[in-house]
Chain A
Amino acid sequence: MSLLTLSGSPHLQTDRSVRGIMFDVVIALIPALLVSMWFFGLGALKVTLVAVIACVFFEWLITKYLLKAASTVGDGSAIVTGILLAFNLPSNLPAWIIIVGALVSIGVAKMSFGGLGKNPFNPALVGRVFLLISFPVDMTSWPVPRFEGYMSLGGITDAITGPTPLALLKAEKLAELPGYVDVLLGNMGGCLGEVSAAALLLGALYMLYRKVITWHIPVSYLGAVVLFSGILWLVNPGIYVDPLFHLMTGGIMLGAFYMATDMVTSPMSKKGMLLFGFGCGILTILIRVFGAYPEGVSFAILIMNAFVPLINKYMKPKRFGEAVQNG
């Protein structure tokens, strides 16, 4: 008889793996990628491919030659970071800038902390913010999508650039704002993944169904945005736009469903998640309305990332037997 294996219980483990979770996120991001290709042409695909390949390459390079450890590329997290970084960039960004962003995301924000699971800040957002501060001009010249863009694939990407709705807002050009239908479908200026709220929602539903994310962070994030921008709008509709417009423009959908929900950099308890999302929402509107930048999602999430250890320390899950009921 062969030797029997000994181990502690339980003797069953789920089929779910880190790799499976990461690929679920990739699947969820595909509709948004397709929509941005529709509006921005092949430029969107180019930016995404460059970012993904650079992220995977840098992770492989660092594990192999700097850490001299087993490669962690197989877990798929670098692919997710690559796609999320690309979704935060304009579609006409030069490849070398994207590669610098990927190096900052993977090298500085992720691997220097010890790789997947150890990073306090969302790697894609760190890369994005680094690029925004370092290359402000390239990072804010947005190609203008044309609904007929798909007919001239790649042809328009570098040709015309224009402001995002939020930049218009910042410049107090309310009259030039696009309509709701365009905003919902993504027919407006912006980053790759910022444009289509509808496609992002579709992917988010898939992630909820696959239990990759829970509702807590997105709902409290969006709720806080509606609440805060709603109050401002009610106070003076002349200078502040309504909450719906805030929800569907910029990176709020991408941020609330894909970036703030990043498992590694969000709180562990449900109460903590609600607080985290709420903080992200308030900070986003604060920066949008009163800050120097037209868009505040990246900064808001990064600031809240810094609070996660504190939130984890004080927001404990509800313990069994804590509230003694005798019903």
Chain B
Amino acid sequence: MKTFTFTLGGIHPEENKISEHSPVERLEIPGQLFVPITQHLGAPAKVLVNKGDQVKTGQLIARGEAFISANIHAPGTGKVSKIDVHPDQSGYRKTMVVIDVDETEVWEDGIDTGTSIIRSIPYAKEEIIQKIKEMGIVGLGGATFPTHVKLMIPDGKKVETLIINGVECEPYLTSDHRVMLERAEEMLVGVQILMKGLGVNRAVIGIEKNKPDAIAHLSTMAAGFPGIEVAPLMVKYPQGAEKQLIKSILNREVPSGKLPLDVGCVVSNAGTALAVYEAVQKNKPLIERVVTVTGKNVKHPCNLLVRVGTPIQALIDKAGGLPENSGKVISGGPMMGKALNTLEAPVTKGTSGILVMQQGESLRKEVQNCIRCAKCTQVCPMGLEPYLLAQEAKLEKWDMAEADKVMDCIECGSCLYTCPSGRPLLDYIRVGKSKVGNIIRTRKN
């Protein structure tokens, strides 16, 4: 079997897929749900309910009105007790709809909660996009870009291939892995729906070779779905980064500042394909997702099907509670995830995992002088010079940072990971990206 991979840079952090054999379990709905009105990339959704309103599960509670925005639905049945600020995963207080959950769940009319799999897709392209938009589907890989926007191809662009990202190159995370094993057929129907929405005949599912069971299972299943193939990928971080995945599978490089569209493809996450299936075939909005709860000291590492708005504390309790020597709790994987400052923050559409790190692992290495070993340059998957970009950001040489392509950085963290001197390269580069980004926007206006 041919193995695909990208050419520039990359690293091999320890995989630690502790929870890969734990089947997905449903986490019971907590007493209160905190539903942020921004769970996606783009403008916040406009709240449609008032304090005191009774809502059903799956009812639209906030509408995404801007071009890039997404609808938000009630993840549980109950009364809206308040619409107020509450800390989110960034630690900032954001507007959220708080629902006091009733004991009996009532679903919004028209939602099919049955388990039978519907394979025929009687919808036209526009209907598919409309349904995906209504159901508030966003990319579940972490970037949470509204899926319906991705399917609207601007005039003059041509898309031939849909790439499904089942790579899950982040260490520890296993949620997509479990979805691909347990919900393969539904996911494949979702892929077909996306293909129809895009008007393409070919879809490639990229999976890293550390998931041989998923590769085997999906390859067998995909035989019944014309146009869908599985590509086994070399285990190398960041194999699942959009541009690297396109390079691996199609051997095309998305030029600086361009989109996958510009090289004739669209990339969507494996979990998103399942959400698309549920949205289109079952009329079910995106109100729950699979979240991996893991860590070396976590008592029961697991994969949980969680309602959006569930406080992270509830997930950790389910996994056996916060271990004694915990030093850091991360939303997402250890390479690109965010460190949380409160466990009250709720799960959102983009939460792929909760990782609890021990005290010893949580602290950064002591920072020493740069010894110019060039390891950061060798591992950068974008062919940048992290040591130089960090220095330029430190010295506030924004024009030089722009010329050295600071905006191409995908923030994968390979540079910081690999630096023997423990230098905070990506921290500085992020500052550079933000400053240079502002400068570019001001110049355009």
- A236 close to chain B: CB less than 8 A: no
CB–CB B371/A117 < 8 A: yes
- A171 close to chain B: CB less than 8 A: no
CB–CB B369/A118 < 8 A: yes
CB–CB A11/B334 < 8 A: yes
Give Cα A2–Cα B326 distance, bound, in whole angstroms: 8
CB–CB B420/A4 < 8 A: no
Give Cα A216–Cα B404 distance, bound, in whole angstroms: 23
CB–CB A9/B255 < 8 A: no
CB–CB A320/B420 < 8 A: no
Interface residues of B in 354-398 (CB under 8 A from A): 355, 357, 361-365, 368-374, 377-378, 380-385, 387-388
Closest-by-CB residue of A relative to B255 is: A321
Give Cα A323–Cα B427 distance, bound, in whole angstroms: 29
Partner of A4, one of B254, B328, B368, B408: B328
CB–CB A8/B252 < 8 A: no
Question: Chain A residues with Cβ under 8 A from B341's Cβ?
Answer: 4, 6
Given A5-B362, A8-B430, the answer on whether A115 and B339 have CB atoms closer than 8 Å is no
Closest-by-CB residue of A relative to B328 is: A5
Closest-by-CB residue of A relative to B327 is: A5
Partner of B372, one of A1, A14, A268, A326: A268
Question: Chain B residues with Cβ under 8 A from A266's Cβ?
Answer: 372
Partner of A7, one of B8, B339, B383, B387: B339
- B421 close to chain A: CB less than 8 A: yes
Question: Closest CB of chain B to A298's CB: distance in Å?
Answer: 20
CB–CB B413/A321 < 8 A: no
Give Cα A12–Cα B365 distance, bound, in whole angstroms: 10
- The interface size of chain B toward A, counting residues with CB under 8 Å, comes to 74
Partner of B420, one of A10, A17, A214, A327: A17
Question: Closest CB of chain A to B315's CB: distance in Å?
Answer: 15
CB–CB B420/A18 < 8 A: yes
Q: Which of A88-96, A139-147, A243-251, A311-319 touches B?
A: A311-319
Q: Is the interface of B mostly helix, strand, loop or mixed?
A: loop
Closest-by-CB residue of A relative to B427 is: A8
Question: Chain A residues with Cβ under 8 A from B43's Cβ?
Answer: none
Give Cα A326–Cα B256 distance, bound, in whole angstroms: 15
- A205 close to chain B: CB less than 8 A: no
Give Cα A13–Cα B421 distance, bound, in whole angstroms: 10
Given A321-B243, A325-B252, the answer on whether A10 and B335 have CB atoms closer than 8 Å is yes
Question: Closest CB of chain B to A313's CB: distance in Å?
Answer: 10
Given A320-B8, A321-B255, A322-B383, the answer on whether A4 and B416 have CB atoms closer than 8 Å is no
Give Cα A326–Cα B381 distance, bound, in whole angstroms: 19
Give Cα A118–Cα B370 distance, bound, in whole angstroms: 8
Question: Chain A residues with Cβ under 8 A from B368's Cβ?
Answer: 18, 75, 116-117
Partner of A263, one of B13, B247, B363, B371: B371
CB–CB B252/A7 < 8 A: no
CB–CB B253/A117 < 8 A: no
CB–CB A13/B252 < 8 A: no
The digit string for B245-287, where 1 denotes a CB below 8 A from any CB of A, is: 0010001111110100001100000000000000000000000
Partner of A317, one of B336, B362, B385, B426: B385
Question: Closest CB of chain A to B335's CB: distance in Å?
Answer: 4
Interface residues of B in 316-369 (CB under 8 A from A): 322, 326-330, 332, 334-341, 355, 357, 361-365, 368-369
Closest-by-CB residue of A relative to B369 is: A117
- B435 close to chain A: CB less than 8 A: no
Mind listing 23 A-B residue pairs with CB under 8 Å? A4-B327, A8-B424, A10-B336, A10-B417, A11-B337, A11-B339, A11-B361, A12-B14, A12-B335, A18-B371, A115-B369, A117-B370, A118-B369, A263-B373, A267-B374, A312-B388, A317-B377, A317-B384, A319-B405, A321-B255, A321-B408, A324-B253, A327-B252
Supply 16 further A-B pairs (C-beta < 8 A) apart from A324-B255, A327-B251.
A1-B322, A4-B326, A4-B340, A11-B335, A12-B14, A12-B361, A17-B422, A77-B371, A263-B373, A263-B374, A267-B374, A319-B383, A319-B408, A320-B382, A321-B253, A321-B258
